[in-house]
Amino acid sequence: MNRRFVGILAVLVAPAIVGCDGCDKKSEPSGAPTSSARSPGMPASSAPLGIPSMVAESLPRCRVDGPRLAIPGEDVVAGDAEIAGDALLVGVVRRDGARRMASLVRASLDLASLQVLDVGPTLGDDPPPSPRMRGTTAYVMSFARPKSGGDAGAATTGRPMTRVLEIARLEGARLLVEGSIVQQADESLAYDVAWPASADKPGIVAWDEDAPAKAGAELADRGVVKVQLIGTAAKSRVASPDSSDAEAPRLLARRDGYWLAWLARRAEVGEDAGAAAEGPGERRAYRWVELVALDAKGEAVSPVRRVSPEKGRVASFDLGAALNPSGGEPQLVVVVQDEAAHAEGAGERIVRYAIDGEKVEAADLLDGGVGHALAELVPQPGDGGAPRWLSFSDTQEHAHLVPLGPALRLAGAPTTEPSLDGARMVASSPPDVVYAIGPAGAADASGGRVELRRLLCR
């Protein structure tokens, strides 16, 4: 989960069912208080004897704690967030008078104070700046305006238009640019960044682009994923194979290198009338996750492998470092939101794929009842096997939350969270603090204004 995943499992709505990955002997111990009534989505065998299974819905875990902090400006679009020491950093795009600005919001962790650092004017549909942490140092990724004349004549010379992704270190109230990545200016704005554990080695950026069009064709027929080291003379290289139509890359640091994953897609051709429509101008497509290991220079050191089923319909995915049951280096886990339901009208699923050498182990975290809104594996400081929160929505767009243990398995039952309806969880601080962004006041009267909320979830 572009980084993220969102929901409710109400009694009268088709409930998400917790798969056996959350109820067998491998289950994470729950840190949440238990209830005498069975939570929706938990197996009936978990209900205490003598309690009717129909009574049961787990009480909400979260309550708003402290003030709600309005983000200055109108028509605010909020993006990624990170906790940096004693502050919460949030990237936003906002209208300030006649200007449309990309900004970085710095709020105290108790939401008692707020500062806004303007990064620069935005271009078109550019996403908000994205704060990222390298150890205790904060960086900000943002798209910059091209230098004057930099792309002049591109349309007439046949050269593709380009844009620049800047990587800047946050120092006080200043942004110090440490690197930039020149990308093809196509429809996709997806990218990801990761840094190695070693402080003396550069980080790496991955993004997707249209592949060069075939001879005689005006448009590319597939996408490619590229990678490039930050702040070095190294050039970008294509990381996805010629056989893949690749998009939406994700990166995760590993020992001596990185994991790189992306969504691969293939049009679904109908038996009689060709391909069915998936959206305006699109054909319905299968989507699955592919994965490759990179070394510290960004070069592939493993074959590309398929993680999820080739006939799945992955809506989004995220990479996580989980506690390795065998000890040693953290285990790679891919958390996938799949539109392919087990039954008609059952809702989407969230599936956990654990990578163990050449073996991929799959288990449903939630085997139905998930809505179309993208779920979020909520980020938190020091992503090294600490417990995590997974937020999602149901088919009625109500919010839900479920805790995941250090192995990224279920550590408790999903709960309905009315205080998160209409909001998006953006960060968490162990053990029980989460931060969310939602409309300020009534949704129809907010004027595009949004607010930060601090919640305790126990």
Residue positions counted in the chain: 458
Give a yes or no: residue 5 inside a domain.
no
Please write the tens of the pLDDT for every residue from 301-316: 999 999 999 999 999 9
Q: What is the mean pLDDT of residues 327-333?
A: 88
Q: With residue 156 as reference, give the H or E element that holds it.
A: helix 154-157
pLDDT top residue among 11 and 132: 132
Q: What is the mean pLDDT of residues 271-280?
A: 44
Lowest mean pLDDT among 25-39, 92-106, 155-169, 281-295: 25-39
114 backbone dihedrals φ, ψ, rounded to 5°? -150, 140
- Give me the chain's average pLDDT, please: 82
Number of structural domains found in the chain: 1
Distance CA 244, CA 202 (A): 28
Give a yes or no: residue 382 inside a domain.
yes
- What are the tokens at 45? 């065998």
Please write the tens of the pLDDT for every residue from 24-35: 333 343 333 333
Please write the tens of the pLDDT for every residue from 189-237: 999 999 998 888 899 999 999 998 877 666 778 999 999 999 888 899 9
Residue 435 · residue 105 · CB < 8 Å? no
Q: What percent of the chain has pLDDT over 70?
A: 78
Torsion angle defined by CA atoms of residues 307, 311, 317 and 322, in that order, rounded to the nearest 10 degrees: -30
CA distances from 458 to 31, 61, 218 (A): 8, 5, 55
Q: What is the largest CA-CA distance in the chain?
A: 77
pLDDT for res 149: 46
pLDDT for res 129: 97
Give a yes or no: residue 154 inside a domain.
no
Give a yes or no: residue 15 inside a domain.
no
Beta bridge partners of 26: none
Confidence of residue 385 (pLDDT cuts 50, 70, 90): low
Answer whether residue 383 shows pLDDT above 90: no
Confidence of residue 375 (pLDDT cuts 50, 70, 90): very high
Residue 231 · residue 202 · CB < 8 Å? yes
State the CATH number of the domain containing residue 385: 2.130.10.10
pLDDT for res 30: 37
Give a yes or no: residue 6 inside a domain.
no
Full residue range of the structural domain in which residue 285 is found = 20-148+160-457
Confidence of residue 430 (pLDDT cuts 50, 70, 90): confident
Q: What is the mean pLDDT of residues 30-50?
A: 35
Give a yes or no: residue 8 inside a domain.
no
Give a yes or no: residue 336 inside a domain.
yes
Q: Give the single-character DSSP code of 296.
A: T
Give a yes or no: residue 11 inside a domain.
no
Lowest mean pLDDT among 89-93, 102-106, 144-148, 450-454: 144-148
pLDDT for res 244: 95
22 backbone dihedrals φ, ψ, rounded to 5°? -100, 0
Beta bridge partners of 193: 205
Answer whether residue 406 shows pLDDT above 60: yes
Please write the tens of the pLDDT for every residue from 145-190: 765 444 444 444 456 688 999 999 999 999 999 999 999 988 899 9
